[in-house]
Structures are given as structure tokens and as C-alpha cells.
Amino acid sequence: MDNHMAITPEEAASARADADLLHSAEEIAALLDTMAAEITTVLGDKNPLVLCVMTGGVIFTGHLLTRLDFPLEQDYLHATRYRGKTSGSKTITWLHKPDTPLQGRHVLLLDDILDEGYTLREIAHWCHEQDAASVKVAVLADKQHDRRVEGIKRDFSAIELVDRYVFGFGMDYKEYWRNANGIYAIKGL
Ligand SMILES: O=P(O)(O)OC[C@H]1O[C@H](OP(=O)(O)OP(=O)(O)O)[C@H](O)[C@@H]1O
Ligand SMILES: Nc1nc2[nH]cnc2c(=O)[nH]1
């Protein structure tokens, strides 16, 4: 079944015009400097394997990695549970698993947002199953509400986000506006 609720570019432009800017690019840059320093303290001597969770994690990963000035390896995985919708199913769909073996590695998962937590819980569980030495989670935004599932926590987060549907900096609104340079909230969501 195709779950993708397509909208037109005109509808995307209208949604962006009506949206509220919650966190500017300048604010995010300063917060990522702080996060990078924290990650360096914890993983700087661990030769970590950094895994970007595609698609939403790609912008955050790019901005963060240029701030990590120590030896690390990078790979990616692709998992999705929202698939272009504004609410998700409880199970994730794996589209790609990393080629790099995880056994014995200190893994750092990078994703744009921790919301209800199903996505990162399942990915972290899979990393442990692969015998990773440790699994840490860094997210750009940690949404604040009481719907978080048991068994997942983030180790690093730049922003504590209000409980609204957001887009920008990797996050989509119906597959548009991952390219928006800041974090925006959809009017009414
Ligand atoms: O904490 P949760 O409630 O599970 O939601 C968080 C996940 O939702 C988004 O992914 P999505 O499934 O929309 O795929 P995408 O990365 O392609 O946008 C986001 O990138 C996170 O991975
Ligand atoms: N784009 C986007 N993806 C999400 N995945 C989980 N929550 C969100 C959200 O608020 N925005």
C-alpha cells in the first residue's frame, strides 16, 4: 500500500508560509557546537561507528560531523515508520542496514527527532543484537510529551521541542521542506 499522502508544491509552499519558526539556523548551529563538545568528551577516544538514520537524520548528521574532530567511521541505515504521514505505525520498515559490522564497536546513532521513540528503540535494539560494544543516541530534537515508549532514551540532544508536528533541518512535511534551514511547526499541528 502506498502510504505517501502527496501534496502539490503549491500546498507545500503555503504550509511553509503559514508555519511558525521555532528554532533558527543560528540557534541550531550554537546548540550543535555544544553537543559536539559533549560527544567528543564521551566518544573522542573510542573510534566510534557513527550511523545516520536516513532520511531525516541526514542534515543533522552533516552539520554535526563537521564538528567532530577525532577519528570515527561513518555508515548509514534507512528505517522509517511515518512514511510521509504526520502519524506513524508502531513498527518500523527497514529499507537498508549498515554494511559495516557492528560487533565490538561503539555505535553512535544520529537522528533528527525522538518523538514517541518506536524508531530509535527498534534500531538501538538491533544494534545490540549485532553485538555492538555500546550504543549511544544523539538527536537534534527531543519532543516533550508523555507518549514516549519504555526502553529508549537519548544520550545527547540539542533541542527540547514543544509537542507540535515540526519540519525542517531534515524533517519533512509530507516529504517536503527537509531543506528548510531551521525548525518550523505546521500551523494547527
Ligand atoms: O520517535 P518516533 O515517534 O518513532 O519518530 C521519530 C522518527 O520519525 C521520523 O522518521 P520517519 O519515519 O518519518 O522517516 P524519515 O526519516 O524518512 O522522515 C524521524 O526521522 C525519526 O526517525
Ligand atoms: N517531520 C517530522 N517527523 C516526525 N517524526 C516524529 N515526529 C515528527 C515530527 O514532528 N516531524
Give, in order, the Cα–Cα distances in Å from 76 to each of 27, 58, 180. Answer: 26, 9, 22
Q: What pLDDT is attached to residue 85?
A: 66
125 within domain boundaries: yes
Residue 67: all three cell numbers together: 564538528
Evaluate whether 50 touches 102 at the Cβ level (below 8 Å). no
Q: What is the pLDDT along the chain (189 residues), one digit of tens a residue?
A: 344 569 999 999 999 999 999 999 999 999 999 999 999 999 999 999 999 999 999 999 999 999 999 999 999 999 988 766 666 677 899 999 999 999 999 999 999 999 999 999 999 999 999 999 999 999 999 999 999 999 999 999 999 999 999 999 999 999 999 999 999 999 888
Query: What does the angle CA 73 – CA 77 – CA 80 come to, to the nearest 5 degrees?
Result: 150
In short, whether 84's Cβ falls inside 6 Å of ligand 1 is no
Evaluate whether 189 touches 22 at the Cβ level (below 8 Å). no
25 within domain boundaries: yes
Q: What pLDDT is attached to residue 1?
A: 34
| Separation CA 10–CA 74 (nearest Å) | 36
Evaluate whether 19 touches 182 at the Cβ level (below 8 Å). no
In short, whether 126's Cβ falls inside 6 Å of ligand 1 is no
Q: Catalytic annotation on 111?
A: no
Q: What pLDDT is attached to residue 3?
A: 44
Q: Side-chain half-sphere of 48: how many Cα atoms within 13 Å?
A: 24
Residue 19: all three cell numbers together: 508555519
User: Phi, psi (5° rounding) for residue 52?
Assistant: -80, 130
Which domain does 22 fall in, by range? 9-185
DSSP helix/strand/coil, 100: coil
| Separation CA 183–CA 185 (nearest Å) | 7
Pocket test for ligand 1, best of 58, 80, 109, 152 (most atoms within 8 A of CB): 80
Ligand 1: which residue has its CA nearest to atom 7?
A: 119
4 within domain boundaries: no
Ligand 1: which residue has its CA nearest to atom 17?
A: 55
146 within domain boundaries: yes
Q: What pLDDT is attached to residue 81?
A: 87
3 within domain boundaries: no
Question: Domain tally for the chain?
Answer: 1
Q: What pLDDT is attached to residue 189?
A: 82
Residue 1: all three cell numbers together: 500500500
1 within domain boundaries: no
Please give the distance, rounded to the nearest whole angstrom, from the Cα atom of residue 133 to the centre of ligand 1.
25
130 within domain boundaries: yes
2 within domain boundaries: no
Q: Side-chain half-sphere of 24: how many Cα atoms within 13 Å?
A: 3
Ligand 1 atom with the shortest distance to the CA of 171: 18
Q: What pLDDT is attached to residue 2?
A: 44
Which member of 115, 142, 146, 172 is catalytic?
115
Domain of residue 21, CATH code: 3.40.50.2020
Please give the distance, rounded to the nearest whole angstrom, from the Cα atom of residue 34 to the centre of ligand 2.
23
Evaluate whether 79 touches 95 at the Cβ level (below 8 Å). yes
Identify the nearest ligand to the CA of 137 by its number. 1
